[in-house]
Amino acid sequence: MQSFQPPRRILMGPGPSDVSPRVLAALARPTIGHLDPEFQALMEEIKAALQRLFNAPDHACVPLPAPGTAGMEAAMMNLLEPDDRAVIAVNGAFGGRMADMADRAGARVVTVDHDWGRPVDPARVEAALAEAPTKLLAFVHAETSTGVRSDAGPLCALARRYGALSVVDCVTSLGGIAVDVAGWDADVVYSGTQKCLSAPPGLSPIALSKRAQAAITGRKTKVRNWLLDFNLLMSYWGGEGGRTYHHTAPINALYGLHESLVALFEEGQQAAIMRHARVHAAFAAGLEAAGLSLLVDAAYRLPQLNTVVVPDGVDEAAVRAHVLKHWDLEIGAGLGPLKGKVWRVGLMGASATPWHVRLCLTALCEALAAQGHAVDAAKALAAADRELAA
């Protein structure tokens, strides 16, 4: 065997995003014991920082030791017991994954299905909640498979009105658009480190309300998975004075998350959100000038995940292969019904910079030209630059 040397890549897909040098440096610091007093102090600081990041001062916030999908699984497995009714809004791949998990937890799952590319419709969700007593309402705030933002506040309010607990997937939204757990009065909100937080994949920050915690401690049956059982987990993460061993925290990964949070607060959460909006506006202007279009209506478009429509006659996969080969640039393919029809371009975290926008526009235009689809790259860059200068 030989040491693995990854190629240089610029990550502008649906995640992971570029990891900043300061986070990479933090990951390489010496491993210490997870029960070391210094490490326990770090755990406390991360918990407080996550409360601030989510705006969830009254929620229990911890990073789960696995990627974003673990947050989803923890929410479903901890809140749902066999025969509970769960209403899941599905408007893309991740809503579908939630429904599958709720089913595996033994719940009676009712999906509210939407066309891909559309936001969750509160009226249709309300109709499903009104049919029967419901334990849980789940939806995706930022659907990474389509680039759509759904309005979380009104959906959480519906859950409250019908006595259901709300579960909100904020894997792609956290750090890129406003996430306001207290303002939404949401019950369980989870995210991941590899999208707009720009740390490597492998951790899932999660926030649980007091209502959610009471539902979990009051379960009639044991949570069916062990690692993510919140009752056990909090004996490890919760305990001021006297932590008991549950699992060994991914120590260096937590150094990385901590550093990414330090960087985010240095920049300012609002400033980071503005940066995502600004580079998205530049990218959209550049695409438009090049004669390309975005799938999603501007009213509910995500700045951090751009679904670019593949023009007629263009080979979608060949364009991705071209930009990877010639520009070391990774962009994403469409999923499900959007396969072959869109590219998914991430402007997330450390990948949300004017440099990334200019590079991606240049590379895309070159790849299209190589297929005989003439686009004016100079015009695209000029339009993006005008937007950035505004």
Residue labelled with tokens 């916030």? 61
Closest CA to 23 of 255, 192, 268: 255
73 binds ligand PLP (CB under 6 A): no
65 binds ligand PLP (CB under 6 A): no
In the shown chain, the binding pattern of residues 312 to 351 toward ligand PLP, with x for contact by CB under 6 A and - for none, equals: ----------------------------------------
194 binds ligand PLP (CB under 6 A): yes
- One residue of 119, 122, 192, 303 binding ligand PLP per CB under 6 A: 192
Helix (H, G, I), strand (E, B) or coil at 214: helix
The CB-of-225 to ligand PLP minimum distance in angstroms stands at 15
| Helices and strands of the chain, counted as H and E runs | 14, 14
Q: How far apart are CA 261 and CA 267, in angstroms?
A: 10
Q: How far apart are CA 41 and CA 49, in angstroms?
A: 12
Q: How far apart are CA 389 and CA 10, in angstroms?
A: 24
Q: What is the DSSP letter of 10?
A: E
166 or 172: whose CB is closer to ligand PLP? 172
CB-based contact 205:174 (threshold 8 Å): yes
Identify the bridge partners of residue 346 per DSSP, sorted by sequence position. Answer: 305
Where does this chain touch ligand PLP (CB under 6 A) — which range of 30-38, 128-136, 138-146, 229-237? 138-146
- One residue of 68, 96, 175, 332 binding ligand PLP per CB under 6 A: 68
140 binds ligand PLP (CB under 6 A): yes
Angle between helices 210-217 and 230-237 (to 10 degrees): 120
The CB-of-169 to ligand PLP minimum distance in angstroms stands at 5
144 binds ligand PLP (CB under 6 A): yes
The CB-of-234 to ligand PLP minimum distance in angstroms stands at 22
- Residue 52, CA distances (Å) to 59, 97, 262, 264 in order: 10, 28, 12, 11
CB-based contact 359:353 (threshold 8 Å): no
191 binds ligand PLP (CB under 6 A): no
Where does this chain touch ligand PLP (CB under 6 A) — which range of 67-75, 122-130, 278-286, 328-336? 67-75
- One residue of 134, 172, 213, 306 binding ligand PLP per CB under 6 A: 172
Please list every residue from 150 through 169 that binds ligand PLP, using CB under 6 A. 169
Question: What is the CA angle 329-335-336, rounded to 5?
Answer: 165
Cβ count near 288 (within 10 Å)? 15
Where does this chain touch ligand PLP (CB under 6 A) — which range of 40-48, 137-145, 262-270, 368-376? 137-145
CB-based contact 80:107 (threshold 8 Å): yes
Please work out the total of residues on this chain that contact ligand PLP, with binding judged by CB under 6 A. Answer: 15
Q: How many residues are present in the chain? A: 390
69 binds ligand PLP (CB under 6 A): yes
Closest CA to 157 of 138, 184, 130: 184
Where does this chain touch ligand PLP (CB under 6 A) — which range of 35-43, 63-71, 208-216, 296-304? 63-71
286 binds ligand PLP (CB under 6 A): no
Identify the bridge partners of residue 140 per DSSP, sorted by sequence position. Answer: 169
- One residue of 11, 12, 13, 15 binding ligand PLP per CB under 6 A: 15
387 binds ligand PLP (CB under 6 A): no
Structure tokens at 19: 């990891």
The CB-of-98 to ligand PLP minimum distance in angstroms stands at 8
13 binds ligand PLP (CB under 6 A): no
94 binds ligand PLP (CB under 6 A): yes
> Strand 188-190 relative to strand 165-169: parallel, antiparallel, unpaired?
parallel
Point out which residues bind ligand PLP (CB under 6 A): 15, 67-69, 72, 94, 140, 142, 144, 169, 171-172, 192, 194, 201
